[in-house]
A and B are shown apart, each in its own frame.
Chain A
Amino acid sequence: MKHFKISLLAAAAVVSVAAMPSLAATPKNMLVVAQTIDDIISFDPAQSFEFTSNEIDNNIYSFLVAFDPMNLDAGYQPDLASSWDISEDGKTITFHIVEGRKFASGNPITAKDAAYSLQRAIKLNKTPSFILSQFGFTADNVDEKVVATDDYTLQITTDKKYAVSFVLNCLTANIASIVDSKLVMEHEADGDMGNDWLRSNTAGSGAYILKSFKPNESVVLTANDNYYGDKPKLKQVFIRHVAESASQRLLLEKGDVDIARNLSTEDVAAISGTEGLKVQDELRGRLMYWSANQKSEYLSNPKVLEAMKWLTDYEGMANSFLKGQYTVHQTFLPMTYFGAIDDKPYHLDIEKGKALLAEAGYPDGFEINAIVREAQERIDIAQSLQDTWGKAGIKLTLTIGTGAQTLDKYRARVHDIYVGAWGPDYSDPNTNAGTFALNPGNADDSGNTGYLAWRNAWDIPAYSQRTLDAVVENDVDKRKQMYVDLQKDFQKDSPFGIMFQQIEQAGMQANVKNLSLGGAVSSIAFWPVTKD
């Protein structure tokens, strides 16, 4: 693999010698995208939890409330629901659905479709269902908790009073997509609520419909004539699977694609000077971090953890191999999230790290192991940690494995250090607070494998309570302050060394306008895009 990379760099060097003007052009009414799409498993919004399929769904399905891609900072906005009321006890939200709109199939959009969609997501109980089931919905009670009282009124009753913003943020997640119940039930097989059919077909009311999907090859979207919003300017979106960055760049330079999504740092640098092409940077939600298993004698010492945070070369990494792709960020809420803070208390200070280790009783350091997934950026980060921790005597060995292998160990809590990434699941701050700073029970057999705090055996009743309190606080300013305080304390004493937030760099033709990649809180939106 190392040889592969070196030779790729050599090839990239040859490629960069010859800067090429854009020659061909894609058709005016079509957007052509080069992207790695081999993660797609299913387009069913009740099941899809992969990056690419969630992105595509965002362009196919509508929600009760949704983000405006041209103004993400405004937060959720009315979509299929024009307004909503909160009951006095704060547990029931009544949504008023806009009348007269249609699904792509021509069926009318009613509150019954909305109720069906949410009930279906709970009953199918696929991986992303936790985003909705955290409000107390189960397969047994959801038919009473989510009810269409008439064709255009939907009532949702949660198990207790939550912050309204928390509930609505969760309703912007892909799993809360509203499906065409009539069409879906026509394709039901063996009581699967259309799950098998929706894997590669769609039943939505968004700007596009799925025209074709060929695994590892292409996805084609075509405009939905029944779309109730502004009609998409580009009638077709053609997403072609191109795994290799250099190949994506060649296609972009030749004008055979409009957008290249997975360009390496070198390729981005090379095209930024090319006439007719541009690079769009957007902060995404993904964080890079290391975490320390609290079962380890060394790593459960707070002084050791603090030392390791001072012994990390944040700027050095961000300015070298992560340049352009990640920015330094040291807490669990990505920037642009509600309640996010930009505090960066740590920077590389070897002497301070040494002093803290001496205070902890390890002036000569100790030996530990880190598990790292076989991905270049993660290995590079782990090697940098190996280097700077080593300067203070912490001898770090690296065990590199596939994604599934490292995750196995992480979930079994048999690691010392895990070097990895975390992406938020929905647009509310609880998505990260609820995993980094919440551990519902630290026992080995508690089955809390989904919580990062649990995976690192970090037993934190006080933090957990604060996290739970924050999701029921309805005063917006107070809620925000709770997350600010939580993160400031977390930075000091958590066993998580959060280091970076991802920046996505998409290369595109200069004539591509109004593209939103979705920032940290949402997904790519094709419908506002124009090509002049």
Chain B
Amino acid sequence: MEKTGGQLQLSIPPIATKTISTLFTIVITMVGLLFITFIIGRVMPVDPVLAIVGERASQAQYDEAYVSLGLDKPLLVQFLIYLNDVFHGNLGESIRTGMPVFDDIKRFFPATMELATIGTLIGIVVGIPLGVLAAVKRGTWIDQTARFVALIGYSIPVFWIGLVGLLIFYGILGWVGGPGRLDIFYDDVVPTVTGMILIDSLLAGDFEVFSNAFSHIVLPACILGYYSLAYISRMTRSFMLEQLSSEYVTAARVKGLSEARVIWQHAFRNIGVQLITVVALSYAGLLEGSVLTEIIFSWPGIGSYITTSLLSADMAAVLGGTVIVGLVFVCLNVLSDVLYRLLDPRSK
């Protein structure tokens, strides 16, 4: 029998259609994001040409740069040219660092990712048990302490806690490394593979570099972890309270199940989906780069890269950075979608 078009369509498994539609959504989201950022960048009252040629340039030099940036073309044409470049993997050249934006991001993003990942891990490992405990022991001193810790985390400015942390743990006690990712002696010792020094040093089997990098990352990561912890523990507590007051928990207790089993097997399992959202949001927030932490700790991350680029009208860098941050958000979104499906039988 000849195969017909209809049979062909039927042979596409649902997982493939799902993947294609997800990909389609990602592309549409990214184009929209780029368009908005591009337009904002162009209508912003800052002149990118001046940022390139500087204050002393003559009119002729100014005009030359204006044309070479393509600013003489209509806005929509400029956008389409940019979009075409992006789809060919060319994010343009940063006028501030003089490097291709892609290379810049390749250097700055892993630094942020390393920091954000450890920060989020701290947030999860400490924040979730703390939140559960606070919910279970509601109203006791444990709950109050957890509330206090979280409140401090919300309200103290990160640069203050960063500086004081540096003073105490680096300046006075000397337990951790100072600002920067490594001591200068270890600079360029291990080859760059992932751009994350902790991983690169392990790959190279150089434990001295690893421990030096660790001593530098531990303080900023703990500070970011603290902020993440404050958020995650508060959210965990309120999710848990909701579960603990529901009838099925009472029923389980009446049935005589142990308290630990009630809490972890029943109540906690049911807040999994919500927690994933909270953790993903918190992680994505840190992956955008924490500008002030990066400044205090001289951490060459994506946050300060985008911010300084924005202030100096370096639109190629801002757009490139936005694409990456946007992609990260979208990917985390897709990832948490997948995790929902695994955790929640109903969504199948």
Contact = CB atoms under 8 A, between A and B. Distances in A.
Interface of A: 3-4, 7-8, 10-12, 14-15, 18, 20, 23, 26-27, 30, 32, 38, 40-42, 49-50, 125-128, 130, 199-200, 212, 214-218, 220, 238, 240-244, 246-247, 250-251, 253-254, 256, 401-405, 407-408, 411, 425, 447, 449-450
Contacts of B188: 212
Chain B interface residue bracket vs A: 35 or more
Given A10-B160, A42-B98, A408-B46, A447 B178 contact: no
B312 A250 contact: no
B50 interface: yes
Interface string B274-306: 000000000000000000100111101000110
Interface string B98-125: 1100001001100000000000000000
Contacts of B159: 4, 7-8, 11
Contacts of B164: 11, 14-15
A251 B46 contact: no
B329 interface: no
Given A32-B184, A126-B61, A247 B298 contact: yes
Interface string B45-81: 1111011011111111110100000000000000000
Contacts, number: 158
A372 B48 CA distance: 19
B300 A241 contact: yes
Interface in B144-183: 157, 159-160, 163-164, 166-167, 170-172, 174, 178-180, 183
B313 interface: yes
B163 A15 contact: yes
Contacts of A130: 56, 58
Given A241-B298, A256-B178, A402-B46, A127 B167 contact: no
Nearest to B188: A212
Given A240-B184, A242-B298, A254-B178, A404 B96 contact: no
A45 B298 CA distance: 28
B59 A447 contact: yes
11 contacts: A3-B157, A30-B184, A41-B97, A125-B61, A127-B53, A199-B98, A242-B298, A244-B179, A247-B179, A254-B170, A450-B58
Interface in B166-211: 166-167, 170-172, 174, 178-180, 183-185, 187-188
Contact of A250 (B46, B47, B167): B167
Contacts of B342: none
A256 to B, nearest CB: 5
Contact of B171 (A18, A32, A41, A407): A18
B84 interface: no
B217 interface: no
Given A125-B61, A128-B56, A250 B157 contact: no
A38 B96 contact: yes
B308 interface: yes
B95 interface: yes
A14 B167 contact: yes
Given A215-B107, A244-B296, A254-B178, 10 more contacts: A4-B159, A12-B163, A14-B164, A26-B184, A41-B95, A127-B54, A218-B184, A220-B187, A246-B166, A450-B58
B27 interface: no
A125 B59 CA distance: 12
A247 B166 CA distance: 8
Given A32-B184, A216-B304, A247-B297, A8 B312 contact: no
A270 to B, nearest CB: 12
Contacts of A450: 55-58
A218 B178 CA distance: 15
A246 B166 CA distance: 10
Contacts of A14: 163-164, 167
Given A38-B308, A130-B56, A408-B50, A218 B171 contact: no
